[in-house]
Amino acid sequence: MRVLRYLARRTMATDDSNCKLESFVTHNKKILGAGLNYMDIIKSRNLPIPEEPILFLKPSTSLIQEGQNIIIPKAFSKVAHEVELACVIGKRCKNVSKRSAMQFVGGYCLALDMTAQCSLQVARSKGMPWSLGKGFDTSTPVSRLFPPDEVQDPHKLELWLKVNGNIRQTGNTADMIFKIPDIIEYASRHMTLEPYAIILTGPPGGADPVAPGDIILCGMGDLVEMKFEVKAEWD
């Protein structure tokens, strides 16, 4: 009986040894984003510290990589940049504990969570979902994948972003309210996480609007830089 109870509590996971995680953009089916996850944002908006991670979903059609452009949809008047660390799930899991969460991380990447602030402002005021303001095409630019052994500590990484050569955002993942194990534990309690799933861990403060013609250059520690041009939908 004791063995059966142990098996019932055990984290659900599969080996997934055939996964080629470097193709995470092609095979992705789920993007989870963490909102309000840096203390500087909480303090600047005079908000209470969240008791649990605030999560939202983005579609896989929002993903792009270098060589592609960020396209501002006609429907939006105010789209802002948000630079952040992302992790990519390497093994299928459900009901993961914080203690075991990191073993399900298959790698990391630098990400932008492009956000239609005009849409989110209306959604927040009416208690509506963030989907349209977060999930438009090209709203999730990402870098290449970094294996876990290339990232000494994902919670001690400098993040920065420039627009047209001018610094806009700086921060450190040490300032995240909810760390990666917290987010994985919370998310997997509510939904299965599969290989190639991307978890955006949230941006530091300084997210400002961009305009067509802008060049975004951003980086994560000394690991990676990536560059994207912003264009309007009608260009």
Cα separation of 142 and 37, whole Å? 19
Cα separation of 206 and 79, whole Å? 13
pLDDT band, very low/low/confident/very high, at 5 (cuts 50, 70, 90): very low
pLDDT band, very low/low/confident/very high, at 125 (cuts 50, 70, 90): confident
pLDDT band, very low/low/confident/very high, at 7 (cuts 50, 70, 90): very low
Cα separation of 111 and 144, whole Å? 10
Q: Which secondary structure element, helix H or strand E, spans residue 230, and what is its range? A: strand 224-232
Encode pLDDT of 49-84 as tens digits: 999 999 999 999 999 999 999 999 999 999 999 999
pTM for this model (two decimals) = 0.90
At 18 the pLDDT is: 55
Which tops the pLDDT comparison, 235 or 154?
154
Q: Which long-range contacts (CB under 8 A, 24 or more apart) does 219-222 make?
A: 219/110, 219/159, 219/160, 219/161, 220/85, 220/110, 220/143, 220/157, 220/158, 220/159, 221/157, 221/158
Fold adopted by 21-232: Fumarylacetoacetate hydrolase; domain 2 (3.90.850)
Tell me the average pLDDT across 150-168.
97
pLDDT band, very low/low/confident/very high, at 123 (cuts 50, 70, 90): low
Cα separation of 104 and 215, whole Å? 34
Cα 125 versus chain centre, distance? 23
Give residues with Cβ within 8 angstroms of 122, minimum separation 6: 128
Q: Where are the domains of the chain?
A: 21-232
At 17 the pLDDT is: 52
Number of residues that make up the chain = 235
CB distance 141 to 69 below 8 Å: no
Cα separation of 70 and 116, whole Å? 12
Q: How many CB atoms lie within 10 A of CB 200?
A: 27
Which tops the pLDDT comparison, 121 or 41?
41
Q: Return the percentage of the chain with pLDDT > 70, whole number.
A: 91
Question: What mean pLDDT value characterizes the chain?
Answer: 91
Structure tokens at 71: 């396209």
